[in-house]
Chain A
Amino acid sequence: MKCKSIEFKIIMYSELTVFEKEIVNSHIEHCQSCAARFADLIDQRVALLKLGKDNRFDLSDGLLANRIMASLSAKQKPKDFISSIQMFLFPALRYGLAAATFFFILIFAIQTMNDSEVRAGIVSDITSGEQSLPILNTAEFTQSYQDRVEMVDSKKLIVLKCFKLCSRADSRVACEVCKQIATNNP
């Protein structure tokens, strides 16, 4: 094996597998320059490890610990009972909140789709120019629409609540669709 290709293994010798170490060992047996570099790197690693081990900070005076604990109590000291409950509920609340958000988004999306379908149906029916709305007898209208429209007698309609265009309860004059429905069904 060439010296160039063994360089990585020499530098990373301490991280090699037994098999890879054998490759390095057999190479340095007959390559003096690589053997010298290898010895140099090994010495360096040993010296650094010793240095790292010997030169640790002694903080047994407790000054830093005091400072940490003081800042901790100053920031927020947990209340035993309340914090225990919070700790217990925290994961449940987080997932519950996420699930509820997803649920509401889903409901809103379905509602919006239904409303837009119904509205499209009404507009097309109104613009067709008929005096009475034939819509109650067609299958195109969803439950959402029927909930908002009350049949007073067999032909007349009262709009109880507007569709998506305006959300006011008394919305006969609030939006174009309601206006038209009100005009067509006095």
Chain B
Amino acid sequence: MNLPESEIIEKAKRGDTTAFRKLVEGYQGFAYTLAYRMLHHHDEVQDIVQDAFIKCWKALPRFDGRIKFSTWLYKIVMNLCLDVIKSARYRHSKMASDVSVDFNLCDAKTSDDALHQQEFIDSVLKMAEQLTPKQRAVFILRDLEDVDMAEIGVILSISSGTVKSNLYYARKKMNELLKGFYQHNPLHEL
């Protein structure tokens, strides 16, 4: 039986782990994708997503439904990602390890198109690492996740003006970087 999300949340709030598992199954893909786009590191991402859902479970009784559950979860994931980015451990591991490309994407792995897409998004995420953490967060949320501006403000706890200015600088920088990328990889030309 498919219950509406609000009922599943209510059940989970009362301590029903089966209901909470449904939430996990419903949102783990979004959480994982967002965290991967922020951190670009699979091992780190698994821990982040796990921590995020545990935090979510603990804080669920205080979730009052004023914002969407997805926004609330995004906020938890994003805060954890920003904490990791600021940590010295992450910077060190990024320097030491190359980017892994073992994507397990929805699309067929074998097709050329999927491979090109993998390569392209990998490059985009690599370029995004040159942005400040806030700019990176805003850019990923707006231009990759297609989250609206007001929601981004809620997720990152910043004003709409700050969201706009971060997005402006992020897009400007990414445009320059992508131009350079297309020059070296004409196959990916838009």
Residues of chain A within 8 A of B164, CB atoms compared: 12, 15
Q: Does B168 lie within 8 Å of A11, measured CB to CB?
A: yes
Residue of A nearest to B120 (CB): A51
Q: Complex: how many Å from CA A174 to CA B16?
A: 62
Q: Does A84 lie within 8 Å of B15, measured CB to CB?
A: yes
- Compute the total of residue contacts between A and B using a CB distance below 8 Å: 112
Q: Complex: how many Å from CA A57 to CA B106?
A: 6
**Does B17 sit within 8 A of A, measured CB to CB?**
yes
Q: A12-B167, A41-B175, A51-B120 are in contact. Are A58 and B106 (CB under 8 A)?
A: yes
Q: Does A51 lie within 8 Å of B124, measured CB to CB?
A: yes
Q: Complex: how many Å from CA A80 to CA B120?
A: 49
Please give the distance in Å from B1's CB to the nearest CB on chain A.
19
List the one stretch of B53-61, B80-88, B93-101 in contact with chain A.
B53-61
Q: Does A73 lie within 8 Å of B106, measured CB to CB?
A: no
Please give the distance in Å from A110's CB to the nearest CB on chain B.
35
Q: Does A67 lie within 8 Å of B50, measured CB to CB?
A: yes
**Does A75 sit within 8 A of B, measured CB to CB?**
yes
Q: Does B46 lie within 8 Å of A55, measured CB to CB?
A: no
Q: Does A57 lie within 8 Å of B33, measured CB to CB?
A: yes
Q: Does A68 lie within 8 Å of B143, measured CB to CB?
A: no
Give B29-70 interface residues, CB cut-off 8 Å to A.
Answer: 29-30, 32-33, 36, 46, 49-50, 53-54, 57, 61
List the one stretch of A42-50, A139-147, A164-172 in contact with chain B.
A42-50
Q: Does A59 lie within 8 Å of B53, measured CB to CB?
A: no
Q: A12-B171, A51-B124, A77-B17 are in contact. Are A65 and B28 (CB under 8 A)?
A: yes
Residues of chain A within 8 A of B174, CB atoms compared: 44
For B, the interface residue count at a CB cutoff of 8 angstroms equals 45
Q: Complex: how many Å from CA A80 to CA B50?
A: 23
The A interface, classified by DSSP as helix, strand, loop or mixed, is helix
Q: Complex: how many Å from CA A51 to CA B113?
A: 11
Q: A68-B50, A73-B17 are in contact. Are A62 and B144 (CB under 8 A)?
A: no
Q: Does B175 lie within 8 Å of A44, measured CB to CB?
A: yes
**Does A185 sit within 8 A of B, measured CB to CB?**
no
**Does B5 sit within 8 A of A, measured CB to CB?**
no
Residues of chain A within 8 A of B25, CB atoms compared: 62, 65
Q: Complex: how many Å from CA A129 to CA B107?
A: 99
Q: List 9 A-B contacts (CB under 8 A).
A: A12-B167, A12-B168, A51-B124, A55-B33, A57-B105, A58-B105, A84-B14, A87-B15, A87-B61
